[in-house]
Amino acid sequence: MTAPTSGDEPKPWRVEGGPPKRSRRRPWVQLVVMLLVLLAVNWIVTSVLLRPEPRVAVSYTFFVTQAQKANIEEITSTGDTIEGTFREKAAYTPLGEKKSEQVDRFTTERPTFAADNLFALLQAHGVAVNAKPPDAPAPVWQQLLLGFGPALLIIGLLVWFFRRAAAGAAGGIGGFGRSRAKLFSPDSGPRTTFADVAGIEEVEQEVTEIVDFLRDPERYRKLGARIPHGVLLSGPPGTGKTLLARAVAGEAKVPFFSMSASEFIEMIVGVGASRVRDLFEQAKKVAPAIVFIDELDAIGRARGGAQSLGGNDEREQTLNQILTEMDGFTGSEGVVVLAATNRAEILDQALLRPGRFDRLVTVSPPDVAGREQILAVHTRGVPVDPDVDLKKIAATTPGMVGADLRNLVNEAALLAARRRHETVTTADFGDALEKILLGTVRGIMLTPEEKERTAFHEAGHALLGMLTPGADPVRKISIIPRGQALGVTFQSPDTDRYGYSSAYLRGRITGALGGRAAEEVVFGEVTTGAESDLDQVSNIARQMVGRWGMSEAIGPVTVLPAPGTESPLGLDGVAPATRELVDSEVRAIVDDCYSDALRLLREHRARLDRLAQALLAAETLDERAAYEAAGL
């Protein structure tokens, strides 16, 4: 092989077919040619459109006849030539022709020998005689505007579009492929910090290493440690996953790119992958930085499973690009990916392997101490009355997450403002909690019979809750219609529960059937008022049998999918005989619990009557009044 001469440039790669031929015509020459062509076409089209409609030449005799009929609207005379418009179209037959035509705009010639008093005739019939030619051309500025304006507008739009396309060349035509992530820079104003996050201290410890690494990466690199490429925050909605991610960025004082996973997907195939590339390129330019992807399950669903039946090329391309980008990290870029989801079980396993999302951090609902801390954070800017006990409020809100508690504080403040209080009182918090848990009060009037039946229905729920060992204490009973219910019975545990025994669950079923049982004991018939109770009962019993192994006939196996993960075609691998067995076991549990409910209410009929009468008198009973009325 001959060595290249000094004038030859070394080629880094070989191109089949030789280099592409470049056009001799420069881009600006093409633009000028296109501009001239557009202007010429615009001028020709405008000239044709603005050309006045031709006038029909009529005889002078016909003109005078129409003038005598007062059918002439206006004329313009230049010498012996008269041009004008008829008020209504007139049928004119030219000399020597048989076919007439409808004439609107006309022109005629006045003979020089005519001795008629034409001006007097026209004045007598109110004809306007103009001095300006009717077909005079438009002013020059109008001709220029109509002749060149549309072409210039089109050229301007094309230039704007091409500039936008050039700016988004890395992301696709017109910038469709550019990332839509919101950037929060360290100096963009007040930042969220760990002081704004409460109730999830164990999760804060998991992400503190990321903050330390971004602040002082050299300390970790000296020991050969690598920062996790990605951290996946998983937990129920409202537990503070997004807030925690923003707090990490705020504490580290680095740029924070925030984007929802659904924003990657567009109708145009390939845009999602392009946006992923653009997002990571932007983050690397300002590294160290944090990229936060919210609701990751929108694009991270497992590929090839029953849930992705039918496929989605755009979603899978986007997911593949995310996998590629995260796999390309070496740890020295200073880019950390945080993601949040409340459905970690359906994510693709390629996302969860080490090297991509190295850590899976579960953000659980807070316990009573955590709820108290969250309430303290959300009441910082709220004038709370000194008698408000946040610890007591936290104890009455089991299962609530940070978003629920924030909503509770806001509802209490709204009630206080509506009542014109200077501070938010305990009563405001109590009423706000009732509104959230029990529903808004409905302004409907119940008949005495319906009110009595509702009182016994709720008394049945409450009394069984008081009599069943280990059941949650009854906090409030009301027969004031709220939401979709005519009455409510509110029970909550003294402490947070994390596991449920078979006896406790059976007690829950028995208590839920108490309303229907009370109607049967007192009135001898049942109504539709137990619809939501039966839904709750069926769900608990089915989970006991099919998922929690609390049936001897089924055994300690799971035969039903978790709620929300059922196959759309029912392809869950459960045999029909097993399904029938599950149904029979569910029916046996419910029948057994309903028999217990009837037995207990018949044995304590006097307590049931006293509790129902107290409800009819007061409509709402708190915990102390309810237990006193039942004699317990």
In this prediction the pTM is: 0.64
220, 311: one domain: yes
| Sign (positive or negative) of CA dihedral 201, 206, 212, 215 | negative
| pLDDT number for residue 136 | 55
549, 613: one domain: yes
| pLDDT number for residue 30 | 66
Q: Which of 226, 221, 356, 334 is nearest to 285 (CA)?
A: 334
**How far is 378 from 375, CA to CA, in rounded Å?**
5
478, 355: one domain: no
pLDDT less than 50: residues of the chain: 1-25, 168-177, 306-311, 569, 571
Instruction: Write the pLDDT tens digit of every residue in 426-479.
Output: 889 988 888 888 778 777 778 888 889 999 999 999 999 898 887 888 888 888
Q: Using the CB atoms, write b or e for 196-217: b if 16+ within 10 Å.
A: bbbbbeebbebbeebbebbeeb
Alpha-carbon Rg for the chain, nearest whole angstrom, is: 41
Domain count, the chain: 5
Does residue 47 fall inside a structural domain?
A: no
| pLDDT number for residue 14 | 29
281, 231: one domain: yes
User: Is 452 considered catalytic here?
Assistant: no
Q: How many CA atoms lie within 13 A of 39 on its CB side?
A: 12
- The full 3-state SS of 321-389, as one line of letters, equals HHHHHHHCCCCCCCEEEEEEECCHHHECHHHHCCCCCCEEEECCCCCHHHHHHHHHHHCCCCCECCCCC
| pLDDT number for residue 92 | 82
The three-state secondary structure class of 459 is helix
Instruction: Write the pLDDT tens digit of every residue in 601-631.
Output: 999 999 999 999 999 988 888 888 889 888 8
| pLDDT number for residue 208 | 81
The type of residue at 78 is: T
264, 206: one domain: yes
Angle at 585 between CA 580 and CA 588, to 5 degrees: 130
Query: Where are the alpha helices (H) located in 439-554, listed in sequence order?
Result: 448-467, 502-512, 514-523, 531-546
| pLDDT number for residue 529 | 84
Provide the domain limits for residue 533: 448-565+573-630
Catalytic residue among 316, 411, 458, 519: 458
602, 513: one domain: yes
Q: Are 546 and 554 spatial neighbours (Cβ–Cβ below 8 Å)? A: yes
206, 354: one domain: yes
466, 607: one domain: yes
| pLDDT number for residue 21 | 44
382, 333: one domain: no
155, 219: one domain: no
CB atoms inside a 10 Å sphere around CB 415: 19
The three-state secondary structure class of 233 is strand
The type of residue at 363 is: V
Q: How many CA atoms lie within 13 A of 402 on its CB side?
A: 23
């978790």: which residue's tokens?
562
Q: Are 35 and 43 spatial neighbours (Cβ–Cβ below 8 Å)? A: no
CB atoms inside a 10 Å sphere around CB 126: 11
Does residue 10 fall inside a structural domain?
A: no
